[in-house]
Structure 1
């Protein structure tokens, strides 16, 4: 790769991240924020980067120190590269690791490494950045300035393998200049199907180590051809202090949602319905069709229930109301004599700071997914003491049990028919079983609440930040010792 292109790729990411961070200090400057937001949402990577090309290529060639922070003391560095400014599953997961590690390292007298972060793997979102708590923004600024020398740096590439060096799409590659320039390179990834494709196997085997979140992934990665000696299970943490039901009042969920199906009774007051909540990006894998069919077949207006779908587009348009209506019209669903049970869509951005309040407004969480890498919304709901119904396959099998949730039976395995994982298999959750479990939750409220309480206990005892941070620190120390 030519030196100028190297400079361009590395410093374009630095510039974009620092640009987004800088606007957090001028929140009242509406026009600047609007301009940046427009830039980040209206352009793809090549076009956006080209607009800054002349500026970037004047930037000095990067040397072994990409950042400067004289306060940093340990010589070794862990550079975590992930879509920190993007939102979504990998972003949420990466932040959970970094926040846990940072807090844990504060209590160490002589930490053996320092921590740095770097934007990688997806488009930046100003809306997501603005929704982060201020202390997280402050930490992002601090960690982005950490000095990391290549030959003393462990790089964590926290993204799907297509973003790893050399990337298959426009993104800052990870590691930025190739595998041999750094002390150790870790790929942190996961998949939602029963296997990996050959290209991803090849990319995983280039890594010094591959961290996956569950035993399910250990099995699927090794069976697909990833070197068993490289695969390490590192579970995800959940911030049980942030997601704590005792700290929050419920969000006004009815005001946040658009009523798509059903009609409220004239004499009913807000908050009287039993609220089912589901959180997902709008794609077939998430099983929104399974959820709607089960819910609309099982309940009617007289059951006093409401289903809220917090969703966002994923390679699709955002007219979710019409998509739901079309799905119902094209199905064999029959409208009950007394009317549809209520279905709401929340398609506006809910800031990270308000997510606990959203869960607090629900009585149960349900996600009949066909496959999950981990299931961030599921563990967030469990930390908030909600009874959870989710498919008993893939990522959630790492933490759901009959005691702390309602594992949803898999009816059969089905073949992925489109996209990059075409030909792979994933689960088809049972609609009949889902109907029964949703009915059970509203009919046995005390049992459901007991499962929710156990769910929170399990999140605290097995997946709290300090427990996972200690695990990660141990893995990193082993690398340094070698």
Structure 2
């Protein structure tokens, strides 16, 4: 049996990923349990009735003393969780790397390096961060995550969405979080998009905000409206919580996904774009290089720079000079321009879709089970 010690009081990416993995293991016939907790209102709005019943069932099961899993994070409520299994695992994701290892690590990395749990890095990028920080390679394995299953088995729904699309409008999609716009590069994309498509009525940028600090996005757009006036291209901010079906429909309704992020540990939202067969404009940096390469996306050039004023630096003080990518504005604009009429786009879309098929939750679950057998 596998027990997940993960709190569902806040439906963040940790809870979402945990539910996907636990559900898949359960469907494979593996006994699973989840630590009982309050389920957030946001979760109840977006998960299916079947998933609600499954969560309720899994939270009522006795925790396994064989295999237990938690997340690694600097939040004390996550960091301080203690596992008590025969074999314990800690899922690890990080959005930046360290440019030096001469100083003592911050509390989060200290806790991660010095506990006895086997680390499950969600990408080789995250694994390399752990190794450079001093974690023995024998204590780290890579467990890549999975895409939304609907992209693999809902061709009829995809066809229905495509029939509603207007060929006269090119739709760009950017997924962000208003609590961390800097990390997702929203501050870079919005002005670059306005400059590149100034006066063009045939483009639309949809900003899907996954956070609740909505005023931050609105403020940027209002300031751009003052600067560009009536010639500003169309921008729509989508703040509604979406379930997996609605999210899939949003991707299919789009023509391009733009992700000029500064740091990502894996980025399921980008993998989902690949699975949807969409061209993605992105820097080839960090966790997404687990699946992204020059043949299946539109790369943005970048420089490595110190981590700036992001969510992490506001809430704790990372040590050892963390750095990440700084996408180049001119390169971003070039790819925005190129993707409109690129003759190779069909090839790139196909390569992206083929790549994403190697990253399903079933594959992830089976890799975890194989690792458990290996380490037991």
Normalised by the shorter chain, which TM-score bucket?
A: 0.7 to 0.9
Q: TM-score, normalised on structure 2?
A: 0.86
Q: TM-score, normalised on structure 1?
A: 0.68
Counterparts of 1:102-181 in structure 2 under 5 Å?
Answer: 102-103=26-27, 105-106=28-29, 114-118=31-35, 124-149=39-64, 152-158=65-71, 160-163=72-75, 168-169=76-77, 173-175=80-82, 179=83, 181=84
Cα distance change of structure 1 residues 415 and 142 upon mapping to structure 2, 3 Å threshold: closer
Secondary structure of the 1:161 match is: coil
The answer to whether the Cα contact below 8 Å between 1:367 and 1:390 also exists between their aligned partners in 2 is yes
The answer to whether the Cα contact below 8 Å between 2:35 and 2:63 also exists between their aligned partners in 1 is no
The answer to whether the Cα contact below 8 Å between 1:85 and 1:129 also exists between their aligned partners in 2 is no
Secondary structure of the 1:313 match is: coil
Is 2:246 aligned against 1:322? Answer: no
Cα distance change of structure 1 residues 404 and 317 upon mapping to structure 2, 3 Å threshold: closer
- 1:458 — aligned with what? 355
CA RMSD, 1 decimal: 2.9
The answer to whether the Cα contact below 8 Å between 1:96 and 1:238 also exists between their aligned partners in 2 is no
The answer to whether the Cα contact below 8 Å between 1:412 and 1:428 also exists between their aligned partners in 2 is yes
Secondary structure of the 1:300 match is: coil
Q: Which stretches of structure 1, 4 residues or more, deviate above 6 A after TM superposition?
A: 250-253
| Larger RCO: 1 or 2 (CA < 8 Å, sep 6+) | 2
The answer to whether the Cα contact below 8 Å between 1:390 and 1:408 also exists between their aligned partners in 2 is yes
Structure 1 distance, partners of 2:154, 2:345, is 16
The one-character-per-residue Cα deviations of 1:213-262 (angstroms, maximum 9, x if unpaired) are 11111111111222332111111122444555623258999xxxxxxxxx
Deviation, 1:173, is: 4.7
Cα distance change of structure 1 residues 251 and 118 upon mapping to structure 2, 3 Å threshold: farther
The answer to whether the Cα contact below 8 Å between 2:199 and 2:231 also exists between their aligned partners in 1 is yes
Is 2:373 aligned against 1:473? Answer: no
Which of the numbers 15, 39, 42 marks the counterpart of 1:91?
A: 15
- 1:408 — aligned with what? 300
Cα distance change of structure 1 residues 246 and 450 upon mapping to structure 2, 3 Å threshold: farther
- 2:109 — aligned with what? 201
Which of the numbers 207, 227, 231 marks the counterpart of 2:136?
A: 227
Counterparts of 1:406-445 in structure 2 under 5 Å?
Answer: 406-417=298-309, 418-419=313-314, 420-421=316-317, 423-444=321-342
The answer to whether the Cα contact below 8 Å between 1:311 and 1:345 also exists between their aligned partners in 2 is yes
Which 5+ residue runs of structure 2 have no aligned equivalent?
none
Which 5+ residue runs of structure 1 have no aligned equivalent?
1-76, 254-268
- 2:202 — aligned with what? 304
Secondary structure of the 1:278 match is: strand
Deviation, 1:403, is: 1.9
Cα distance change of structure 1 residues 245 and 431 upon mapping to structure 2, 3 Å threshold: farther
- 1:215 — aligned with what? 124
Cα distance change of structure 1 residues 298 and 349 upon mapping to structure 2, 3 Å threshold: same
The answer to whether the Cα contact below 8 Å between 1:285 and 1:371 also exists between their aligned partners in 2 is yes
Is 2:86 aligned against 1:183? Answer: yes
Deviation, 1:386, is: 0.9
